[in-house]
Amino acid sequence: MSEHELLLVQLGDALSKVARPHRCDDELPAEVRMNLWQLGFPCSELTSREELIARLWARKRRVLTAMQPEWGGPPVTPPAAA
């Protein structure tokens, strides 16, 4: 598994933990906050889930974009029949 693929798995896992249904007054569990810090998302008990979800998706989009090969344009078309 490449570094980008591993990061995508980690980001997806973090997203699933942060975005799962919760009560309005529920804080993120300490384990989830620790994982977010390891992924480069500093947060505290006061950090909103909405903010974290937006930041996680932004990083995931950047990684996905970096993994996509450059588009080389349309393929060579054969000469038109006379």
Q: What is the pLDDT of residue 61?
A: 92
Q: Greater confidence, 4 or 25? A: 4
Domain ranges of the chain: 3-67
Q: Quote the CA–CA distance of 13 and 41 in Å, as a whole number.
A: 14
Decide if pLDDT at 22 tops 60: yes
Which positions ≥6 away from 44 have C-beta within 8 Å?
33
- Give percent above pLDDT 70 in the chain: 84
Q: Greater confidence, 82 or 78? A: 78
Q: What is the pLDDT of residue 68?
A: 76
| Digit-coded pLDDT (tens) for 55-79 | 999 999 999 888 877 655 666 666 6
Specify whether the CB–CB gap between 52 and 18 falls below 8 A: yes
Q: Quote the CA–CA distance of 24 and 59 in Å, as a whole number.
A: 25
